[in-house]
């Protein structure tokens, strides 16, 4: 069995590594195809000599079986909306490839070889975001992939939309000649929602690391106490995610001379004689409860990874061909509930992450809350200059949009297909909306990390020297894309540059 992980999706989809087939990779595929060819000669097999869906009640004449597969692809290429960008489209292709390589689909080896050619030649299928109900698989989106493999429709090469036929001629690639059940095999699975989900998780994991860094830096510049992320405090709460975040914060802040030890307060004789303490005894929740807030986000994303990797390495079409059992099994492995539910959960936790960043940002903007920095981190003349006042609006409105997008798609089934599909997953919708929330979250994070760097520049020189090495490293990295703001300048370009930096650069500090 062929097995891949999110790390390999990252290599093939984001880094565009060449996809190489093992020498024996096609053995099980050929065995499955040969078995189905022989097995179906004297039997009624769905999708080979029958129509599809409610039309399965009609037998197809032998001389029209091949034409049936082409009709299926063409008739279901009905997607609309934005096409998936190259990273997501490549991930969809890898997901479909790996499902076929399990050897349970009865497709021809030509399908495998065509998909590999598309990946390695940089030919990007035109797959639209809208179309799938995610129950008989991603029929519409995967039909567009199939349409491109047979040399029809449009593809993208180097970002330019071109006729598929022209691109194939240029590369000397023959259109796929479909056999037996290749058409049904191509479209009858969860590979679009799974491919999108896989990339979402890769970027979500990067974002979590940036959120831990930002939260650590905020604790540091506010000279917060260290016990909120201490091992001792977090060890008594038995959640792996919480303990992981606290550990990461301790590692990030190692060597900091700004973070305060609670022992300092215990031994402060002056404070003991004071009725009203000058400094906060405990920080606001957005600073103090970081392990408890980001912890469940980490746990949710980790479990989603397990589900998505299971789906990537599963056979998710119908029927399933099992030469080892000498049989063909009909059922519903194409149903996308697993992915739909996880993408709903990921969408929710990413929105919560944005809310945390937005609240931390608001804390920095409000001098009455932080008691340390000028309003809106304004380094210019108050009234004449505005600092981060305008930038905050963008973070707040973007967070609000994510909150509106975070209602569940998993529970929004609508029967269709003459009620044959009477309960569906809407898994691709869930994955696409999670993708939008992810983009929003990166935008909010970009603004927040810029604000933290602005606050660092407003520290006294001796305070800057006391920062941890990792805080200084993040600061230096962000300052390659966004400068300190004193006189008012349009910040939109800097926000976009920081967004590109933090999204496309794995966090390695």
Distance CA(186)–CA(13), nearest Å, equals: 19
The helix/strand/coil state of 83 is: strand
Nearest to 199 by CA among 14, 19, 428: 14
Written as six digits, the tokens of 21 are 């087939």
Distance (Å) of CA 138 to CA 26, 45, 47, 77, 335: 24, 21, 16, 11, 9
Provide the token pair at 115. 């998909």
Which residue is associated with the tokens 């970081």? 290
What is the C-alpha separation between 211 and 201, in angstroms, rounded? 15
Beta-carbon contacts of 106 under 8 Å, excluding residues fewer than 6 positions away, are 32, 33, 35, 36, 180, 181, 185, 319, 321, 328
The upper half-sphere exposure of residue 76, i.e. CA atoms within 13 Å in the direction of its Cβ, equals 28
**Could you give the CA distance from residue 217 to residue 219 in angstroms, rounded to a whole number?**
5
* Residues designated as active site: 46
CA distance linking residue 197 with residue 95, whole number of Å: 10
Angle made by CA atoms 333, 339, 343, in degrees to the nearest 5? 170
| 451/389 Cα distance (integer angstroms) | 11
Tokens of 318: 């119908």
Distance CA 135, CA 317 (A): 10
Comparing C-alpha atoms, which of 241, 258, 252 is closest to residue 304?
A: 241
User: Whose structure tokens read 């966090």?
Assistant: 507
- CA-based diameter of the chain, in Å? 97
Peptide bond into 319 cis (omega under 30): yes
Give the tokens for residue 501: 């930096």
Give the bridge partners for 385, in sequence order.
382
How many residues appear in the chain? 509
What is the C-alpha radius of gyration for the chain, rounded to an integer number of angstroms? 27
Structure tokens belonging to residue 217:
């830096």
Q: How far is CA 97 from the centre of its chain?
A: 20
Q: How far apart are CA 116 and CA 158, in angstroms?
A: 18
Assess contact for 445 and 357: CB atoms under 8 A. yes
């Amino acid at each position: 069995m062929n097995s891949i992980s999110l790390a390999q999706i990252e290599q093939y989809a984001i880094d565009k590594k060449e996809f190489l087939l093992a020498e024996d990779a096609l053995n099980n595929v050929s065995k499955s195809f040969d078995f189905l060819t022989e097995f179906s000669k004297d039997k009624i097999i769905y999708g080979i000599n029958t129509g599809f869906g409610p039309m399965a009640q009609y037998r197809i004449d032998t001389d029209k079986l091949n034409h049936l597969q082409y009709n299926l692809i063409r008739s279901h290429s009905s997607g609309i909306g934005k096409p998936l960008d190259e990273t997501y489209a490549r991930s969809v292709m890898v997901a479909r490839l790996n499902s076929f390589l399990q050897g349970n689909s009865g497709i021809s080896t030509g399908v495998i070889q065509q998909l590999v050619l598309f990946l390695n030649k940089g030919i990007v299928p035109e797959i639209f975001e809208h179309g799938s109900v995610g129950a008989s698989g991603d029929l519409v989106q995967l039909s567009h992939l199939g349409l491109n493999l047979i040399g029809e429709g449009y593809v993208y090469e180097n970002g330019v939309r071109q006729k598929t036929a022209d691109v194939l001629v240029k590369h000397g690639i023959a259109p796929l000649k479909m056999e037996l059940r290749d058409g049904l095999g191509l479209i009858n699975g969860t590979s679009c929602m799974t491919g999108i989900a896989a990339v979402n998780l890769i970027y979500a994991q990067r974002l979590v690391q940036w959120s831990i860094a930002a939260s650590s830096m905020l604790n540091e510049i506010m000279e917060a106490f260290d016990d909120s992320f201490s091992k001792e405090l977090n060890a008594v709460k038995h959640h792996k995610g919480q303990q992981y975040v606290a550990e990461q914060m301790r590692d990030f802040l190692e060597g900091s001379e700004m973070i305060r030890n609670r022992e300092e307060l215990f031994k402060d004789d002056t404070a003991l004689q004071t009725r009203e303490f000058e400094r906060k005894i405990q920080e606001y929740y957005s600073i103090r409860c970081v392990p408890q807030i980001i912890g469940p986000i980490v746990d949710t994303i980790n479990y989603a990874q397990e589900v998505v990797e299971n789906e990537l390495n599963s056979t998710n079409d119908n029927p399933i061909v099992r030469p080892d059992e000498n049989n063909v099994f009909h059922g519903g492995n194409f149903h996308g509930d697993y992915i739909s539910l996880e993408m709903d959960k990921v969408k929710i936790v990413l929105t919560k992450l944005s809310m945390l960043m937005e609240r931390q940002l608001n804390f920095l903007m409000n001098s009455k809350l932080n008691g340390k920095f000028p309003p809106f981190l304004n380094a210019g003349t108050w009234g004449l200059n505005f600092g981060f006042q305008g930038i905050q609006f963008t973070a707040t409105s973007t967070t609000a949009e994510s909150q509106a997008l975070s209602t569940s798609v998993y529970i929004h089934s609508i029967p269709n297909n003459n009620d044959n599909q009477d309960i569906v997953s809407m898994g691709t919708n869930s994955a696409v909306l999670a993708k939008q929330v992810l983009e929003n979250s990166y935008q909010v994070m970009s603004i927040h990390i810029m604000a933290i760097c602005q606050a660092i520049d407003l520290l006294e020189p001796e305070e800057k020297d006391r920062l941890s090495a990792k805080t200084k490293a993040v600061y230096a990295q962000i300052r390659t894309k966004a400068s300190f703001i004193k006189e008012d300048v349009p910040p939109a370009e800097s926000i976009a540059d920081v967004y590109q930096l933090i999204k496309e650069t794995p966090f390695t500090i």
